[in-house]
Amino acid sequence: MVINSSIGEFLRRSTPSSVIEQWLTTARTDFAPAAMAISAAAHTPHQTIRFADAALQAGEVSCAQLTQLRQPDLRIERATSVAANSSWDVSGLMPARLAPAFCRVEGSIEGSIDFEVWLPLEDNWNGRMLGTGNGGFAGTILTNGLVHGLQRGFATSSTNTGHHDWEQNWAVGNTRAQENYTHRAQHLTAVNAKVIIEAFYGRAPDHNYFMG
């Protein structure tokens, strides 16, 4: 782990060494798995794209037809075409004006990991994927990250990391929920987002990024 030199110097001067070591140990434990999971997702081999209607082919489906995509543990609830220049409420902030038209995919993985993937239309896609994070204990899909990526031509994903922000005791005694929050939900969202992207555009993204 690399710490900015000025921040590191401040910590060394103002914080007992035992506390710094505890913080570093926690950071390595909590954040390193997420980084490795996202890196692994970026190198996931191409998967077979399957639809409920066997006549459908990747790259030849409409936005709405993405609901027929069939992958293990993946459920696409809705796939909606959003017109260009739509006004969008950005996570409770001022409404944003979305210039490009896009396909909004809403779904879940394993029943508890909610996610969205926003797909710019093919003429506006830059050929890349952007996964986005959220702050604190997560629990919600942050549209500001989705808007940021979409406006720049990325096929962009976001996840609630496996729980809702109104759930007070979601992590108590629930090891799987803890794993989903720390790294697993981001990994599974990245893997399935790549499948959705390939189903829609007919090819996998050239490069994969994470912001958050």
pTM over 0.85: no
**Could you tell me the pLDDT band of residue 95, with boundaries at 50, 70 and 90?**
low
CA distance 134 to 162: 12
User: For residue range 151-168, what is the model confidence (pLDDT) as tens digits?
Assistant: 999 999 999 999 988 888
Q: What are phi and psi of 209, to 5 degrees?
A: -130, 160
Q: E strand or H helix at 107, and its extent?
A: strand 102-109
**Quick one: tokens of 34?**
């997420």
Provide the residue count of the chain: 212
Which pLDDT score, from 0 to 100, does residue 121 have? 94
Pairing of strands 102-109, 207-211: unpaired
Query: Is 102 a residue whose pLDDT tops 70?
Result: yes
